[in-house]
Amino acid sequence: MEHRHDEDRPVRARTAEVRGWLAPGLLVVTAVTLAAGGVAWLSGAPEVADAWWAAGTAAAIVPSLAWVIAALRSHRAGVDLIAVLALAGTLATGEYLAGALIALMLATGRWLDSAAERRASHDLRHLLEHAPRSARRRSGGQVLTVPLAEVRVGDLLVVGPGEVVPVDGRIEDAAAVLDESVLSGESAQLERSVGEPVRSGCVNAGGAFGLRATATEQDSTYAEIVRLARQAGAESAPVVRLADRYAAWFLPLSLAVAGLAWLVSGSAVRAVAVLVVATPCPLLLAAPVAIVSGLSRAAREGVVVRDGAALETLGRARTMVLDKTGTLTTGRPRVIDVVAAPGRTPADVLALAASVDRFSPHVLAEAIVNEARIRGLALTPVRDVSEEPGRGATARTASGTAGVGRHDGSPLPGWAGAADNRAALDGAAVAWVTLNGTLIGAVLLRDPLRHDAPRTLRRLREAGIDRLLMLTGDRTEPAAEVAAVLGLDGVRARQSPADKVAAVRAERGNAVTVMVGDGVNDAPALAAADVGVAMGARGSSASSEAADVVLTTDRVGRLADAAVIAVRARRIAVQSALGGMAMSLAAMLAAAFGLLPPAAGALLQEGIDVAVILNALRALRPDRAAQPVVEPATEQLLRRFAAEHDDLRDVVEAVREAADRLTDAPGPQALETVRTVDGLLARRLLPHELDEEQQLYPALAAALGGPEATATMSRAHSEIHRLARRIDTHLRIADTNDGRLRPEQIDDLRACLYGLHSVLRLHFAQEEESYFSLAR
């Protein structure tokens, strides 16, 4: 069977080649004959002119018949039959100029359709052409070029400047600068350090680097995207089938109007005029052009849609079901607080925990080590590292035996009980840190909400999604908190894969339903939905294979982009089909009453077809009203301040730590902690807030509609500065009292610290959701 398939390829290639030159060839022939006839007529030779125009008309009949037969073979209405009848009618009635105009119209429409589809599918073709086919593998002291299929997990590859990363892997020996625009749609170049993962399909925008393969060709990111792109097409979209259904009644209606016009008036010319303006071949192809344009637009945004049917169905969806972990949250635990025992500092606790955990493969250990790296903490040398599954890791340090993991169940001291209570309220996991068997601190970790999740859900509602439901296998408390923050319409916790499938099927009974997920456990629910959407950047291959839509970048905001594009493409497709046919029907009535002669009707129909196809191509352009567009310089500012937020998280938590110390024992140690916080505020936090006010907010005003859009955030800046000044004033008062707090100061200072902590957390969250999520 494979051999026969290979033999068929030259035949298909020749057929495609013929189709490629047929439309422009026919356009040239019809244009030349029309122009030659015009020259002859102007020269006073009407017989010669008629001969040229008749020749052009006859030249168009043969391909028109072929198109009619091809349409009938594919079980589509043969609307080109109207064109054939119109061409034959003009020859029979001697309306040669009208026939030549119809022939030119038909050729122009076919050429516009083919050109439009070529342009609309350009991005999908680029995706396929970009696929790597070989890799350079280091073996011993040699670097050999091998077929991509021969690359195995663990192979050391060399990626040169300008080359495409061939398979998924980890950077081995030098930092890399990568262009991920093909995968994510984002043009910014990103720097990856040694040990960081890299997805296939990225382009090396820097110097050569080594890549340790972590997947084969077939299991890599780009191969999956290419497989999905090869399935992309518009032929099965329901809106395209709708156009075919229109054609099924449009054909007999056109013939009936033409017959009645002839019967009532006794003029065959009127019947021919009706058929001339009823030639809707390019018109009915405008719907596929709009759908393919939508597919192309989605591909530019890092969204791969399997076919036009999925895009059109997504445009009709009214219910969306979302997984929590990895979809609405980042899917990667993050340190939210470090609590230290009296006499210890959070930095000491975190550094010790990271020193023990840096050799552990556990996901919580990775988060602890990453947090220590972000804070620039020096790790302690350790030895004799061991790990007990479900309990944690231990290691020998210069200070004794350190441990990180679960608590042994003994009674907790007061500070630890408060940390444990906070973890329960926040839905966080706790990694307890011990030294020589004594608790010295706790690291609280939680899977945080994606910064762009709230904006994404607001945009989804604007795109027509009426119901948002979250399904998760997580516990009820963290699930309820996420649902409350995002304003979801419903939430179901502790859901098994079977429960998710049942919930999706129940929702499908009420409305067109979309399911969004990223894990293997989401695959059955994705397949059960009307449209399944997979977070493909870090999600499982099983979920991607079960999905109809794959987001190739790790941003849930692309989900809203896909929905907006789908709604717009479907609306434009319907506009193109119905609007064009309405104009054709009006022209048919005018022709039936003798108000529109064949030649004028042909020119009018030409204009209708061109207008409809150009309207369909609007689906290629972004919808500027759907999302505020920021300038590149502003986007750089957004990225800068987002990075500063990550860097300032330890300052925010230090404010809370100082308030807790002041509550436990308002003595010299607590006062010293407050002085440390005051220094952090003056050196790091307040300059950040001032820079935002003076640099970021004015830059955002243009994109958000004016300075009023940032007024509430500016008010938060004022409150932050007010509380910081009040804390500093308390310290100056203490300095006048021999460095001791007066009793009447304690309550107000504690309130200032807790209040500042709350304002900072809310302010950071609002900026990240409303502003930083605008960065593409």
**Would you place residue 2 in the very low, low, confident or very high pLDDT band (cuts 50, 70, 90)?**
very low
The distance in angstroms from the start CA to the end CA of the chain is 46
The answer to whether residue 184 scores a pLDDT higher than 70 is no
Residue 581: count other Cβ atoms within 10 Å of its Cβ: 21
Residue pair 533/546 in contact (Cβ under 8 Å)? The answer is no
User: What pLDDT, on a 0 to 100 scale, did the predictor assign at position 635?
Assistant: 86
Higher pLDDT, 529 or 84: 529
Q: Give 121-128 contacts, CB < 8 A, sequence gap 24+.
A: 121/292, 121/295, 121/296, 122/296, 123/296, 123/297, 123/299, 123/300, 124/229, 124/232, 124/295, 124/296, 124/299, 127/182, 127/225, 127/226, 127/229, 127/299, 127/304, 128/226, 128/229, 128/230
pLDDT score recorded for residue 116: 47
- At residue 724, the pLDDT reads 95
The pairing of strands 319-323 and 176-179 is: unpaired
**Percent above pLDDT 90 for the chain:** 25
Cα–Cα distance, 106 to 100 (Å, whole number)? 10
Instruction: Tokens for 174, please give them.
Output: 């030098």
Average pLDDT over all residues of the chain: 82
Q: How far apart are CA 644 and CA 452, in angstroms?
A: 17
More confident of the two residues 466 and 520: 466
Rounded CA gap, 431 and 406, in Å? 6
Structure tokens at 77: 């209405």
646 included as an active-site residue = no
Q: Model confidence over 589-646: pLDDT tens digits? A: 898 888 888 878 877 877 887 788 888 888 878 776 666 777 888 888 998 998 899 8
pTM over 0.75: no
Q: In the numeric block, which tokens belong to residue 705?
A: 């509609």
Q: Which residue has the higher pLDDT, 313 or 629?
A: 313
- Average pLDDT score over residue span 755-769: 92
**Quick one: CA torsion of 450, 452, 455, 458, rounded to 10 degrees?**
-50
**Token pair for 35:** 């122009």
Helix ranges restricted to H, 330-428: 346-357, 363-374, 414-426
pLDDT tens for each residue of 706-748: 888 888 899 999 999 999 999 999 999 999 888 888 888 899 9
Q: What is the pLDDT of residues 490-515, one digit of tens each?
A: 999 888 778 888 999 999 999 999 99
Query: Looking at 80, 179, 323, 357, which residue is catalytic?
Result: 323
Higher pLDDT, 115 or 672: 672
Residue 361 above 80 pLDDT?
Answer: no
Q: How many alpha carbons fall within 13 Å on the CB side of residue 629?
A: 5
